[in-house]
Amino acid sequence: MKGAEKILPENFKEGIRMIMLTQRSKEGGKSHNSDRVSKRKLSFNKEEFEKIYNEYKNIKSTAKVPLRIYSSINSRNIEKGILQFKRLQLETDYWDIESKHRFYMDIKNRFMSCIMKPKCKETSYFVIDIDENENEPQLEEVMKELKDQNVKIIMQYKTPNGTHIITYPYNPNNTPSANIKKDGLLLLNY
């Protein structure tokens, strides 16, 4: 087990959060393939978060393919998600009939996509993704920029390709070498 699981602050398990078990396309998963392992659920509190996370860990432990477990960095606002979904649902009235039918046959995933829109976030944390390769800025450079700007770091953890740094929101223009995701995913387990 690697990722943020062991150092995850309790408040990152609270509120409405999307938890996902997936096989990345870079690791053999294929986009739009029904054989691809990918599950998403919403938790509404810490107890549900831990229950879903443990369920996904059990699936991952017996899987024949490499899987990762993620959760949304920001809790979600269910009312904003419902509003986004209703707007999308109204738009389907203008779609061709086949697309409209597919929308309703995949309604759970459509709602998940709506609630994961940035406008539906309840909190506002950033994920800085640092991939350690020749074309990306190194950890030291990003850390210096963060320190120079007095950015509060919540946690930092290793990923397969580098490091994730979780921060409180700040002006991202002050850290030009950082790859900042304003509504990213926490890599809990890989």
Per-residue pLDDT of the chain (190 residues; tens, 9 = 90+): 577 777 888 999 999 999 999 997 665 555 555 555 689 999 999 999 999 999 999 999 999 999 999 999 999 999 999 999 999 999 999 999 999 999 999 999 999 999 999 999 999 999 999 987 666 558 888 999 999 999 999 999 999 888 999 999 999 888 887 889 999 999 999 9
Pull the structure tokens for residue 93.
């009235």
> Of 2, 60, 27, which Cα lies nearest the Cα of 186?
2
The whole-number pLDDT of residue 140 equals 87
Q: How far is CA 43 from CA 67, 75, 100, 130, in A?
A: 20, 10, 28, 28
Q: What is the pTM of this model?
A: 0.85
